[in-house]
């Protein structure tokens, strides 16, 4: 029985639950449910705070989990990233009053507020910058105005929160984060099936199925435009001068691919969504 940690609240929670549902697993019926048993798939889901998930997985109490890369690194847990999940993207940055700081080296000797003290501490240590870290639970952007810190280090998404507090980012990007699947031990019963299912959801979201008809002499040129994952399926049509091609293409850029195929001579170019996949 694979034991899986899932965010119970916050930004990653809905997207993680949605991904599990698309992978064919039982998900919780209401937000108060903390443990969900899925006997048919031989997995058990533990809905936990995203910040705690790396700790549970790193300690071996749970086998795998979904959390943010920033939360994993901040925790100092020994859990390892298995695969990025394409949601919960954010950037982790330093910010301070306009014009006050230009590089992270200017943080020497000043107070930096953050709710990610592990992540910020190891970044500054690696850079040889000695700053005082002020550890807060959230809303860290207010720390400068309220005088408990000179700068902040926090998740930046749209930048609205920083602008509202008259703060600007400075210094290097500390981390590009995304939701990740994490694990501790390499070989576990059921882990490869779970990973394949998650991978299947990612593929179904990232790729579409493209069908088109093509004069037979253009197959090589069209295959260069749509090489597919292994190789395109090319089937004969009743008119022997034409073939039908079926191939997976990345969802992003599919319209450019359709334009190029049409210009090459392909016709009846159709795109369909993939509902599920095992690659």
Ligand X SMILES: Nc1ncnc2c1ncn2[C@@H]1O[C@H](COP(=O)(O)OP(=O)(O)OP(=O)(O)O)[C@@H](O)[C@H]1O
CA distance 197 to 220: 33
Of 50 and 171, the one with the shorter C-beta distance to ligand X is 50
**Residue 149, token pair as written in the block:** 């810190």
- Interaction mask 170-209, ligand X, x per CB under 6 A: -------x--------------------------------
**Which of these ranges, 12-20, 136-144, 177-185, 200-208, lies near Mg ion under the rule CB under 5 A?**
136-144
Least separation, in Å, of the C-beta of 143 and ligand PRP?
11
Q: What is the largest CA-CA distance in the chain?
A: 78
Number of residues that bind ligand PRP (CB under 6 A): 11
Among 193, 180, 197, which residue's Cα sits nearest to residue 66?
180
Binding mask 148-167 for ligand PRP (x = CB under 6 A): ------xxxxxxxx------
Mask of contacts with ligand X, 69-108, x by CB under 6 A? -xx----------------x-x------------------
b (16+ CB within 10 A) / e for 43-57: bbbbbbbbbbbbbbb
Closer Cβ to ligand X, 161 or 226, answer by number = 161
Residue written as tokens 């306009």?
98
Q: Does 117 engage in binding with ligand X (CB under 6 A)?
A: no
x/- mask, Mg ion, residues 138-157, rule CB under 5 A, reads x-------------------
Residue 23 binding: pick among ligand X, Mg ion, ligand PRP, none (C-beta 5-8 Å cut-off by kind): none
CA 195 → CA 104, 131, 147, 171, 191, distances in Å? 38, 40, 46, 36, 6
Residues 110-139 that bind ligand PRP (CB under 6 A): 138-139
Name the token pair of 198. Answer: 């998650």
Least Cα distance to 83 among 19, 24, 35 occurs for: 19
Q: Give alpha helix (H) positions in 137-183.
A: 142-145, 160-164
Number of residues in the chain: 279
**79 touches ligand PRP (CB under 6 A):** no
Q: How many helices (H) and strands (E) does the chain have?
A: 9, 15
Closest CA to 169 of 258, 104, 265: 104
Q: Which residue is nearest to ligand PRP (CB)?
A: 138
Spatial CA neighbour of 268 closest among 230, 237, 225? 237
* Listed ranges 5-13, 142-150, 194-202, 217-225: which one lies at the site for ligand X (CB under 6 A): 5-13
Number of residues that bind ligand X (CB under 6 A): 14
Give the pair of three-digit tokens for residue 93: 């940055």
Q: Of 249-268, which residues contact ligand X (CB under 6 A)? A: none
Interacting residues with ligand PRP (CB under 6 A) = 138-139, 141, 154-161
- Point out which residues bind ligand X (CB under 6 A): 10-12, 50-51, 68, 70-71, 88, 90, 138, 155, 157, 177
């Amino acid at each position: 029985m694979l034991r899986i940690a899932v965010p119970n609240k916050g930004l990653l929670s809905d997207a993680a639950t949605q991904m599990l549902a698309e992978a064919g697993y039982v998900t919780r019926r209401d937000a108060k449910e903390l443990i969900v048993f899925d006997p048919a798939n031989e997995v058990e889901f533990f809905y936990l705070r995203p910040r705690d998930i790396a700790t549970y997985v790193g300690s071996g109490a749970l086998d795998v989990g979904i959390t943010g890369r920033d939360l994993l690194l901040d925790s100092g847990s020994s859990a390892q990233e298995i695969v990025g999940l394409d949601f919960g993207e954010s950037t982790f940055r330093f910010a301070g009053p306009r014009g006050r700081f230009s590089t992270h080296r200017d943080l020497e000797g000043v107070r930096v507020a953050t709710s990610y003290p592990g992540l910020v501490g190891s970044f500054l240590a690696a850079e040889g910058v000695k700053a005082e870290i002020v550890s807060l639970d959230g809303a860290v952007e207010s720390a400068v105005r309220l005088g408990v810190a000179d700068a902040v280090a926090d998740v930046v998404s749209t930048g609205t929160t920083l602008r509202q507090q008259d703060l600007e980012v400075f210094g290097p990007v500390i981390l590009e984060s995304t939701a990740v699947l994490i694990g501790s031990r390499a070989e576990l019963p059921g882990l490869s099936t779970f990973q394949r299912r998650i991978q299947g959801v990612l593929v179904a979201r990232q790729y579409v199925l493209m069908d088109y008809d093509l004069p037979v002499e253009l197959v090589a040129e069209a295959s260069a435009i749509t090489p597919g994952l292994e190789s395109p399926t090319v089937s004969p049509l009743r008119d022997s001068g034409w073939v039908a091609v079926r191939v997976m293409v990345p969802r992003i850029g599919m319209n450019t691919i359709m334009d190029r195929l049409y210009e090459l001579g392909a016709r009846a170019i159709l795109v369909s969504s993939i509902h599920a996949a095992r690659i």
